[in-house]
A and B are shown apart, each in its own frame.
Chain A
């Protein structure tokens, strides 16, 4: 027993040495090394893989286009990964290691707000710019961080468009938005509660009345209590958010209990695959999303969103979810900013990132003083006939919203 432990320890040491050697060669003269701790195991492993695939595709394509030119010399991008096991403490540890031991030049964000929150203090301490595409928590951008930039919309924007659609459709029917009642059932974590705050702020703006405001527990497995309240109070819209789990439970239980609401608005629909899982039962649901491959943005490296999606699919054999797209965009931001800075100096690159004003396949990117992207808007889908139809923003809409949804017996 003891001997096997020793052998194991020796094997680990050899692997660690080999890995260390790998890193050292990676930091050779003509490469720019980006470091990322992403969740390859643990509860975020699906989205963690999306993030990694997004990063890898960006590095590959940018390198194929000649890499990043700094002061007349072309550099290749290289990404060093660690698995943060979906835990915050591990994430922080690994980023410290990336910076102080592996000497990466810059840091790419992890998956998710919780992990991002855990590692920002480290990147700030060392003054290493971090561009991230998967930490949408609004709280990340109120702390005065100088080296943090995000390509995505903050989470309070996920369902704001649904509130405006509700108000507009009510007006079209000749109803005053003030007469509208809404129900909120959103998970009790930072990200989801930001989604909730966005809904509440906009609902208040229109004078709507919030009749249910439930915070779903993290070990959520049944929404009967909330849905029974919805049956009793008959709100005009029900907003449910709680990552993939929330979307799955929302569709499943609303349909099984035949709870009727004129508007059901969700998040994470596409990554939870609600149309594949529930077929007709998913119809008429509104879903907030960061990105859609049908948008008509243009991109220096990928051409446009459609071409990005095709290339991604050909490389990784699945449709790119927005989690992958926004990760790809973060690498593009670095490539663009480093070239403009004309230097690998962290402070100079940081200032160049702050001055970013570019168009990507993921959408326009321009950071405000707090580091969040203020140029891009969210997409609102509605599931119609088991397909995602873009209903907002109007410029890219591929269909009109159906409101109110038909009663269950007429579906």
Chain B
């Protein structure tokens, strides 16, 4: 508990932990929003989510090596992953839409293993990073530092989120996606090509992950096996925030980042992940009790 005394002695550190937690959480939120989209529209839990992040990271890494700055690399990564998404949809995903959820989990789990090993064969297990070349900002006598690349990540997460909302609200395809999410059968009856809707939805998710992967390569590092971290985090965010709730996803993502940082500081890094998952259990149990109460009053 001595760490608590440290925190009490220098509350400015709390600001550092909260701010960097929010900035980090934004990238998780981005990946989670893609997951929520696919889950909500197609009823597929995509276990390969983290692998798309990894692939996006590699695209930005190789472009950076070829002399293309990450700022331009990120949109390219999104585009490349969009194409990957379309290809995956037509080869595998379309066969599991509408099937049992267990089938989709198994299939995407298979995709995730395949992508991991492919990446390992093609790019080797070396740990790669992309240098953003951006400086850090200092506040409060250097006690608070914010790497500008984190701000870029946060801004990108917000922009992509906003674009997505605009897309879903205003375009024909966006409306078709929402209609399909509400009732796929009715949408088909009304002439919506749900196959195309599913393909677009899945590819958009891949594109979002690709962009997030570029940010990950700039902020931390990439390697073929980093996927699980992002799949788990986004799964958790979606569980807490619920489907089709962008604001909720961003809040849950930022909250996750903050809680992880605080837990890491106070309890030590070894309990960082454990604490977060304990919290998940508490939230789920709590929500279940809350819902049970409502069910009772309905009866």
Does residue A178 face the partner (Cβ distance < 8 Å to B)?
Answer: no
User: When the two chains form their complex, are residues B226 and A221 in contact, meaning their CB atoms are under 8 A apart?
Assistant: yes
CB closest chain-A residue, reference B2: A211
User: When the two chains form their complex, are residues B13 and A41 in contact, meaning their CB atoms are under 8 A apart?
Assistant: no
8 Å CB contacts to A: which residues of B1-29? Answer: 3, 6-7, 9-10, 13, 16-17, 20-21, 24
Does residue B272 face the partner (Cβ distance < 8 Å to A)?
Answer: yes
User: When the two chains form their complex, are residues A225 and B265 in contact, meaning their CB atoms are under 8 A apart?
Assistant: yes
- Residues from chain B with Cβ under 8 Å of A217 in the complex: 269-270, 272-273
User: When the two chains form their complex, are residues A248 and B261 in contact, meaning their CB atoms are under 8 A apart?
Assistant: no
User: When the two chains form their complex, are residues B268 and A215 in contact, meaning their CB atoms are under 8 A apart?
Assistant: yes
User: When the two chains form their complex, are residues B225 and A221 in contact, meaning their CB atoms are under 8 A apart?
Assistant: no
What is the minimal beta-carbon distance from A114 to any residue of chain B, in angstroms? Answer: 15
User: When the two chains form their complex, are residues B125 and A258 in contact, meaning their CB atoms are under 8 A apart?
Assistant: no
A188 to B216, CA, bound (A): 23
Does residue A226 face the partner (Cβ distance < 8 Å to B)?
Answer: yes
Among listed A228-236, A291-299, A323-331, interface-contacting one: A228-236
User: When the two chains form their complex, are residues B125 and A44 in contact, meaning their CB atoms are under 8 A apart?
Assistant: yes
Among A215, A221, A277, the residue within 8 A (CB) of B229 is A221
What is the minimal beta-carbon distance from A250 to any residue of chain B, in angstroms? Answer: 11
8 Å CB contacts to B: which residues of A214-270? Answer: 214-217, 219-226, 228-229, 231-233, 244-245, 248-249, 252, 256-259
User: When the two chains form their complex, are residues A248 and B228 in contact, meaning their CB atoms are under 8 A apart?
Assistant: no
Does residue B131 face the partner (Cβ distance < 8 Å to A)?
Answer: yes
Q: Mark A294-306, 1 if CB is under 8 A from B, else 0.
A: 0000000000000
Does residue B143 face the partner (Cβ distance < 8 Å to A)?
Answer: yes
Does residue A399 face the partner (Cβ distance < 8 Å to B)?
Answer: no
Among A41, A185, A273, the residue within 8 A (CB) of B117 is A41
CB closest chain-A residue, reference B265: A225
Assuming the contacts A217-B270, A217-B273, A222-B220, asked whether A228 and B17 have C-beta atoms less than 8 A apart, the reply is yes
A226 to B266, CA, bound (A): 10
Total interface residues in chain A, CB < 8 Å = 39
Does residue A355 face the partner (Cβ distance < 8 Å to B)?
Answer: no
User: When the two chains form their complex, are residues B269 and A45 in contact, meaning their CB atoms are under 8 A apart?
Assistant: no
Does residue B75 face the partner (Cβ distance < 8 Å to A)?
Answer: no
A210 to B117, CA, bound (A): 40
What is the minimal beta-carbon distance from A216 to any residue of chain B, in angstroms? Answer: 5
Assuming the contacts A214-B268, A258-B136, asked whether A219 and B228 have C-beta atoms less than 8 A apart, the reply is yes
Does residue A278 face the partner (Cβ distance < 8 Å to B)?
Answer: yes
Among B9, B121, B220, B269, the residue within 8 A (CB) of A225 is B269
Does residue A20 face the partner (Cβ distance < 8 Å to B)?
Answer: no
- Residues from chain B with Cβ under 8 Å of A21 in the complex: none
User: When the two chains form their complex, are residues B220 and A252 in contact, meaning their CB atoms are under 8 A apart?
Assistant: yes
Does residue B234 face the partner (Cβ distance < 8 Å to A)?
Answer: no
Among A41, A216, A229, A278, the residue within 8 A (CB) of B265 is A229
Does residue B51 face the partner (Cβ distance < 8 Å to A)?
Answer: no
User: When the two chains form their complex, are residues A229 and B3 in contact, meaning their CB atoms are under 8 A apart?
Assistant: yes
Does residue B145 face the partner (Cβ distance < 8 Å to A)?
Answer: yes
Q: Mark A184-196, 1 if CB is under 8 A from B, else 0.
A: 0100100000000
A216 to B260, CA, bound (A): 13
A46 to B149, CA, bound (A): 29
Does residue B67 face the partner (Cβ distance < 8 Å to A)?
Answer: no
User: When the two chains form their complex, are residues B270 and A188 in contact, meaning their CB atoms are under 8 A apart?
Assistant: yes
Total interface residues in chain B, CB < 8 Å = 47
8 Å CB contacts to A: which residues of B22-67? Answer: 24
Among B125, B129, B142, B149, the residue within 8 A (CB) of A45 is B125
User: When the two chains form their complex, are residues B20 and A224 in contact, meaning their CB atoms are under 8 A apart?
Assistant: yes
Does residue A272 face the partner (Cβ distance < 8 Å to B)?
Answer: yes
- Residues from chain A with Cβ under 8 Å of B142 in the complex: 258
- Residues from chain B with Cβ under 8 Å of A228 in the complex: 13, 16-17, 20, 261, 265
- Residues from chain A with Cβ under 8 Å of B165 in the complex: none
What is the minimal beta-carbon distance from A41 to any residue of chain B, in angstroms? Answer: 6
What is the minimal beta-carbon distance from B27 to any residue of chain A, in angstroms? Answer: 10
CB closest chain-A residue, reference B225: A43
Does residue B124 face the partner (Cβ distance < 8 Å to A)?
Answer: yes
User: When the two chains form their complex, are residues A244 and B127 in contact, meaning their CB atoms are under 8 A apart?
Assistant: yes
Q: Mark B127-167, 1 if CB is under 8 A from A, else 0.
A: 10101000010100011010101000000000000000000
User: When the two chains form their complex, are residues A225 and B261 in contact, meaning their CB atoms are under 8 A apart?
Assistant: yes
User: When the two chains form their complex, are residues B13 and A225 in contact, meaning their CB atoms are under 8 A apart?
Assistant: no
Does residue A42 face the partner (Cβ distance < 8 Å to B)?
Answer: yes
Which of B149, B224, B225, B270 is packed against the most chain A CB atoms within 10 Å? B270
CB closest chain-B residue, reference A45: B125
- Residues from chain A with Cβ under 8 Å of B124 in the complex: 45-46
Does residue B294 face the partner (Cβ distance < 8 Å to A)?
Answer: no
User: When the two chains form their complex, are residues A41 and B270 in contact, meaning their CB atoms are under 8 A apart?
Assistant: no
- Residues from chain A with Cβ under 8 Å of B220 in the complex: 221-222, 249, 252
- Residues from chain B with Cβ under 8 Å of A214 in the complex: 264, 268-270
What is the minimal beta-carbon distance from A243 to any residue of chain B, in angstroms? Answer: 9
Does residue B126 face the partner (Cβ distance < 8 Å to A)?
Answer: yes
User: When the two chains form their complex, are residues A41 and B121 in contact, meaning their CB atoms are under 8 A apart?
Assistant: yes
Among A225, A244, A272, A277, the residue within 8 A (CB) of B272 is A225
User: When the two chains form their complex, are residues B127 and A258 in contact, meaning their CB atoms are under 8 A apart?
Assistant: no
User: When the two chains form their complex, are residues A248 and B143 in contact, meaning their CB atoms are under 8 A apart?
Assistant: no
Assuming the contacts A45-B120, A232-B13, asked whether A256 and B145 have C-beta atoms less than 8 A apart, the reply is yes
Does residue B223 face the partner (Cβ distance < 8 Å to A)?
Answer: yes
A166 to B143, CA, bound (A): 25
User: When the two chains form their complex, are residues A222 and B24 in contact, meaning their CB atoms are under 8 A apart?
Assistant: yes
- Can you list 12 residue pairs at the A/B interface with Cβ under 8 Å? A43-B225, A45-B124, A45-B125, A46-B126, A188-B270, A228-B20, A231-B16, A231-B143, A232-B6, A245-B221, A248-B129, A252-B220
Chain A residues near B (Cβ < 8 Å):
41-46, 185, 188, 213-217, 219-226, 228-229, 231-233, 244-245, 248-249, 252, 256-259, 272-273, 277-278
